[in-house]
């Protein structure tokens, strides 16, 4: 089968198409005929070696995390799926990839595709959906009436997280450029900051949670808008010692992550704010819950561009520009 393969890490493009054997499945896995793959910023960072100390990746490796497709085979222990089922999943951090004609997916990572979405739309959901769910529901414990700041509202994470936060009953503030104000307004943002001309930390106050999605000193600035007993859930770091412990990393890595996160944790504690770093994990049950919300019409995917499989490198280059409104998807079928 055809797949996009990473042979070695490097700053320049290290990805290439290759013909590899169709994978075989274990008793608790399903084999999915991939119809579409949603791209994420981490798909750009992995080939550069950014996550080499964290991810257990054996090279050469098939790239890609999100997928939507049709079940081709099921393992002997699988009970939730059968051949012919339309499914979607994130297989991020599971040692396998989705940018291929067929992908191996643990039963626990998959869910039935939302009925209202086609395969391209469904493929855009898993990582941003799970990240938003795990950040807003599990970590920040957002409830009706809370105020949530979600920067970069027109991006892949932002477009989903705004909708989920509104579904949970929160008031949402976001940042975007003037050209995307209409988009984030349609998604439900209550307060919109033009990041090019306005400083969010001077305009917002009394917030219950911040979703950290923008690099630089934005997370430190966001502490100024939070009230006591609130939380910052960062998707971009710095990783903390708790993250290293959860992944069973070495004492050295626990020490390193503890040091690099010490400043933001110290600043947060001064304001009685909880800081945590979130590394999304696959979860089919959470995707099933997300499917229900989508099928009731509360969340709609936002897709910027769709590329054919043979133009995946072009799709990744486009994503790397950082200008996509919503998600970039690769279509195989």
Q: What is the pLDDT of residues 169-193, one digit of tens each?
A: 999 999 999 999 999 999 999 999 9
Residue limits of CATH 3.40.50.720 in the chain: 128-277
SS3 call for 111: strand
List Cβ neighbours of 85 (8 Å cut-off, separation of 6 or more).
70, 71, 112
Q: Confidence band (pLDDT; 50, 70, 90) for 54?
A: confident
pLDDT at 50: 82
Residue 47 in contact with residue 10, Cβ under 8 Å?
Answer: yes
Residue limits of CATH 3.90.180.10 in the chain: 2-125+301-331
Q: What is the pLDDT of residues 215-225, one digit of tens each?
A: 778 899 999 99
Any idea which architecture 2-125+301-331 has in CATH?
Alpha-Beta Complex (3.90)
pLDDT at 149: 98
| Mean pLDDT, range 299-327, rounded to an integer | 96
Indicate the range of 64-68, 179-183, 321-325 predicted with least confidence: 321-325
pLDDT at 146 over 80: yes
For residue 165, give the nearest of 278, 299, 40 by alpha carbon: 299
pLDDT at 154 over 80: yes
pLDDT at 87 over 90: yes
**Given strand 171-176, what is the order of strands in its sheet?**
191-194, 171-176, 147-150, 207-212, 226-234, 273-277
pLDDT at 185: 97
How far apart are the C-alpha atoms of 90 and 100, rounded to whole Å? 14
| Mean pLDDT, range 192-214, rounded to an integer | 94
Strands 207-212 and 226-234, bridge-based pairing? parallel
pLDDT at 320: 94
Q: Confidence band (pLDDT; 50, 70, 90) for 53?
A: confident
Residue 103 in contact with residue 69, Cβ under 8 Å?
Answer: yes
Domain 128-277 is in which class? alpha beta
Residue 112 in contact with residue 87, Cβ under 8 Å?
Answer: yes
* Helical H segments across 214-261, by residue range: 218-222, 241-246, 251-260
pLDDT at 13 over 90: no
| Mean pLDDT, range 270-281, rounded to an integer | 95
- C-alpha count within 13 angstroms, C-beta hemisphere, residue 259: 6
| Mean pLDDT, range 41-63, rounded to an integer | 88
Q: What is the pLDDT of residues 107-136, one digit of tens each?
A: 999 999 999 999 999 999 999 999 999 999
């Amino acid at each position: 089968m055809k797949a996009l393969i990473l042979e070695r890490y490097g700053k320049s493009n290290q990805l290439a198409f290759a013909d590899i054997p169709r994978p075989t499945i274990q008793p608790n896995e399903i084999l999915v005929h991939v119809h579409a793959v949603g791209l994420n910023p981490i798909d750009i960072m992995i080939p550069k070696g950014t996550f080499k100390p964290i991810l257990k990746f054996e090279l050469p490796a098939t790239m890609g995390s999100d997928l939507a497709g049709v079940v081709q085979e099921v393992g002997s222990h699988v009970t939730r799926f059968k051949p012919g089922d339309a499914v979607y999943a994130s297989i991020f951090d599971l040692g396998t990839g989705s940018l291929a004609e067929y992908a191996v997916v643990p039963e626990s990572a998959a869910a039935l595709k939302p009925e209202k979405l086609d395969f391209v739309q469904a493929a855009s959901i898993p990582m941003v959906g799970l990240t938003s769910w795990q950040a807003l529901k599990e970590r920040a414990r957002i409830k009706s009436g809370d105020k949530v700041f979600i920067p970069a509202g027109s991006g892949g994470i932002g477009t989903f997280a705004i909708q989920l936060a509104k579904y949970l009953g929160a008031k949402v503030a976001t940042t975007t450029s003037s050209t995307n104000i209409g988009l984030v307004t349609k998604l439900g943002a209550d307060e919109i900051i033009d990041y090019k001309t306005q400083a969010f930390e001077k305009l917002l106050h009394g917030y219950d949670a911040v979703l950290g999605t923008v690099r630089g000193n934005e997370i430190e600035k966001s502490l100024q808008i939070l009230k006591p007993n609130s939380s910052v859930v960062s998707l971009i770091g710095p990783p903390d010692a708790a993250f290293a412990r959860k992944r069973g990393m070495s004492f050295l890595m626990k020490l390193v992550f503890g040091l690099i996160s010490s400043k933001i944790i110290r600043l947060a504690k001064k304001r009685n704010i909880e800081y945590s770093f979130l590394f999304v994990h696959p979860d089919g049950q959470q995707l099933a819950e997300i499917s229900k919300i989508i099928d009731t019409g509360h969340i709609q995917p936002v897709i910027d561009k769709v590329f054919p499989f043979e133009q995946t490198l072009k799709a990744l280059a486009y994503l790397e520009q950082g200008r996509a409104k919503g998600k970039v998807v690769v279509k195989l079928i």
